[in-house]
Amino acid sequence: MFLGVHVSISGKIYESVDRAASLGCSAMQIFSRNPRQWRQLELGEDDAREFRKRRKEQGVEVVAVHVPYLINLATSYGPLYKKSIAAYIEDMQEAALLGAEYVVTHMGSYKNSTLPQGLKAFIAAVDEIFKETKGLSVKLLLENTAGSGSWLGATFDHHRRIFEHVKDSHRLGVCLDTAHVFEAGFDIRRPQVVDMLLAQIEEKTRKGAIHVVHLNDSMTPKSSHHDRHQHIGKGLIGGAALKYIVNHPVLREAAFILETPKETPHSDGMNMKRLRSMVA
Ligand SMILES: [Zn+2]
């Protein structure tokens, strides 16, 4: 089991490792680029080497790189689709250069088209990305969503379709976001629902497919389809339910990464402390 938090990439990229290590993280997540911009962070070989060196020295065992929302592989809008695929290939290459284990992605939105077309577009995009990044060992993890509007991934039937149809599906995995799954309608406050959910995900994708859990409490109610993260134990999922998930045997090899609010400089430390206290 690995525990960590999403950290900022401001300044030099390798400083993000120091931020995670100062919080006692054995896992960390960063954005591949500024979430609101297309511009590349222009990763140099020297900075990447320093990143790899620092994570090794400081015991950060798992690194996940999150692709921001503006990249949309399910869109029916041609220019955005092409731009998204190109950006994605760069992000996979940069993640590999950083020695990251995982790239985490949302599955995009099929706005102005249909669900089958959105899935088809996503599958074709992943095939192209995998073809262009052949040989890279970094795994692509598909994150579930809260199910607002036309976003893919609120049901694991979407994951199933993608796992079935992508050519190199062994390069795929799952990132389970606890807030999103609750907001999408799964009552994970109940242990039997968690058991059923995890079994269902493995059945629809692959055994051992869940490599990362975004451990977040939720500010909004079950089935709200509204994505708002809350501090661990302070939201509507609650500490007891999150503790059950953290210690679940199906997730023994997974990395638990917090994407909780960063209201004060102490927020991450507080949530990490809560997370550590949950480990049985
Ligand atoms: Zn997430």
Contact 230, 219 (CB under 8 A): yes
- Report how far ligand 1's centroid is from the alpha carbon of 207 (Å): 21
The pLDDT assigned to 43 comes to: 86
What tokens appear for 7 in the block?
């950290």
The pLDDT assigned to 41 comes to: 60
Contact 257, 271 (CB under 8 A): no
- Report how far ligand 1's centroid is from the alpha carbon of 104 (Å): 9
Contact 95, 32 (CB under 8 A): yes
pLDDT at residue 39 tops 80? no
Confidence tier at 280 by pLDDT (50, 70, 90): confident
- Report how far ligand 1's centroid is from the alpha carbon of 136 (Å): 24
Amino acid letter for position 61: E
The pLDDT assigned to 38 comes to: 67
Question: pLDDT tens digits, residue range 90-140?
Answer: 999 999 999 999 999 999 999 999 999 999 999 999 999 999 999 999 999
The pLDDT assigned to 68 comes to: 83
- Report how far ligand 1's centroid is from the alpha carbon of 65 (Å): 12
Contact 211, 140 (CB under 8 A): no
Annotation: CATH topology of 2-278: TIM Barrel (3.20.20)
Question: DSSP H helical segments within the chain, as ranges?
Answer: 15-22, 45-57, 78-97, 115-132, 156-165, 178-183, 191-204, 239-246, 267-278
- Report how far ligand 1's centroid is from the alpha carbon of 226 (Å): 13
- Report how far ligand 1's centroid is from the alpha carbon of 130 (Å): 23
What tokens appear for 222 in the block?
């079950």
- Report how far ligand 1's centroid is from the alpha carbon of 123 (Å): 21
Other Cβ atoms closer than 10 A to 56: 12
Question: pLDDT tens digits, residue range 45-91?
Answer: 999 999 999 999 999 999 999 998 788 999 999 999 999 999 999 99
Write down the residue that tokens 């809008």 correspond to: 77
What tokens appear for 231 in the block?
């501090």
The pLDDT assigned to 196 comes to: 98
CA distance linking residue 40 with residue 72, whole number of Å: 16
Confidence tier at 149 by pLDDT (50, 70, 90): confident
What tokens appear for 141 in the block?
């993890």
DSSP state, 9?
Answer: -
CA 147 to each of CA 155, 203, 219, 229: distance values in angstroms, whole numbers, following the listed order: 8, 21, 15, 15
Mean pLDDT of 188-210: 98
Mean pLDDT of 223-250: 97
- Report how far ligand 1's centroid is from the alpha carbon of 177 (Å): 5
CA distance linking residue 38 with residue 59, whole number of Å: 31
DSSP 62-103: EEEEEPPTT--TT-S-HHHHHHHHHHHHHHHHHHHHTT-SEE
Range with the poorest average pLDDT among 25-29, 36-40, 217-221? 36-40
Q: Write down the domain spans for the chain.
A: 2-278
Phi and psi (nearest 5°) for 217?
-85, 165
- Report how far ligand 1's centroid is from the alpha carbon of 196 (Å): 21
- Report how far ligand 1's centroid is from the alpha carbon of 214 (Å): 5
- Report how far ligand 1's centroid is from the alpha carbon of 145 (Å): 8
- Report how far ligand 1's centroid is from the alpha carbon of 68 (Å): 11
What tokens appear for 93 in the block?
């290459």
Query: Percent of the chain scored above 90 by pLDDT?
Result: 91
pLDDT at residue 42 tops 90? no
Confidence tier at 14 by pLDDT (50, 70, 90): very high
Phi and psi (nearest 5°) for 264?
-130, 165
Query: Strand, helix or coil at 4?
Result: strand
pTM of the entire predicted model: 0.96
